[in-house]
Amino acid sequence: MALFNLTINGKSQQVDVDPNTPMLWVLRDHLDLVGTKFGCGIAQCGACTIHLDGNAVRSCQLPVSAAEGAKITTIEGLSEEGDHPVQKAWLEHDVPQCGYCQAGQIMSAAALLAQNPNPSDTDIDNAMNGNICRCGTYTRIKAAIHTASKNL
C-alpha cells in the first residue's frame, strides 16, 4: 500500500492503494467514479478510456503509480453539464444502445477531436479502433463525431 496524490477532473484526491492497482479500479472502487467501465482489463476494448493530460488512455493498463502528477479526466469530468460537443452530438444521433461502451467511446472521440478537429473517416476509424461496441453503434458514432467536429 502506498499513498498517491491524483488530480482527477480538476480535483486533488489522495488514495492509499497497492501501487500496481490500475487506475480503472482506483476510480471505480476507491473514488466512486463509476462512469469509467471495465470491459476486458487488457487494453482490448476501450470501455475504460480516460484522458491523461488530454490523451486517451486505457485506465485498465495504467497503474496508479504512473498517474501521479498528471491531469486525469473521466467521463464525469468531461463537461460540467454533460454538454461537451461530443456528448451533444451523441444525443443528437441517439448513439447509445445498451450504453456500456459509450463513456469510453466518448472519451476516445473527445481526445481525437482535441488533436484533430476535422478528422476524416479514416482518421476516425484509426482513433476508434480500440473501442469495441458489442451492440454495434459504429455508424452512429462516426456520424456523431463528424457532427461534433462541426460544433467544436
Q: How far apart are CA 37 and CA 59, in angstroms?
A: 9
Residue in 31, 67, 103, 111 binding another protein, rule: CB under 8 A: 103
By CB under 8 A, tell whether 13 contacts another protein.
no
Q: Are strands 2-8 and 11-17 parallel, antiparallel or unpaired?
A: antiparallel
Task: Choose among ligand FES, another protein, none what residue 58 binds, the Cβ cut-off being 5 to 8 Å by kind.
Answer: ligand FES
43, 58 Cβ separation under 8 angstroms: yes
Nearest to 112 by CA among 72, 35, 54: 54
Q: How far is the CB of 46 from ligand FES (least distance, A)?
A: 5
Rounded to the nearest whole angstrom, what is the least distance from the CB of residue 41 to another protein in the complex?
A: 6
With CB under 8 A as the contact rule, the residue among 49, 59, 73, 87 that binds another protein is: 87
Instruction: Return the residue matching grid coordinates 485498465.
Output: 60
Strands 71-73 and 2-8: parallel
- Applying CB under 6 A, the residues found at the interface with ligand FES are 38-41, 43-48, 58, 60, 96-102, 133-135, 137
